[in-house]
Amino acid sequence: MISLNNRLTTVSRFLKQGTIADIGSDHAYLPIYAIQNHLCDYGIAGEVIQGPFQAAVKNVAANQLVERIDVRLGDGLSVIHPEDVIDNITICGMGGPLIAKI
């Protein structure tokens, strides 16, 4: 079971049941936590940088969630596909100007 820092724990309290798309997911901690704690059923962890993308892939596999979290390499909201049904979008861990740009 993964644990979160205070900032991401606070974010998790706002999640609705369904699917989470975590943009700039870094290590995929939030989607992993959301599924492990039955806050969401499915997750997309989006990351634009190869290193954090690989870390997310590794963490999802280590937590045996490869069937429930899709780690996608891409810029911002481009990781969300037209056929995805998304109930939550989180954009955490980056500065305000970058979040506004996304």
Give pLDDT tens digits for 57-99. Answer: 999 999 999 999 999 999 999 999 999 999 999 998 766 676 6
The answer to whether position 1 is within a domain reads no
C-alpha distance from residue 91 to each of 12, 21, 26, 33, 102 (Å): 12, 9, 11, 16, 9
Closest among 15, 91, 31, 40 to 66, alpha carbons compared = 31
Where is average pLDDT lowest: 17-26, 54-63, 92-101? Answer: 92-101
User: Residue 11 sits in a domain of what CATH number?
Assistant: 3.40.50.150
The residue among 72 and 102 whose pLDDT is bigger is 72
| Domain ranges, residue 46 | 6-101
In a domain, 66, yes or no: yes
For the chain, the domain total comes to 1
Q: Is residue 83 part of a domain?
A: yes
Return d(Cα 8, Cα 3) in angstroms, integer: 9
Cα separation, 31 vs 71, in Å, equals 10
Kindly report the backbone phi and psi dihedral angles of residue 43, in degrees, each rounded to the nearest multiple of 5, phi listed first. -140, 150
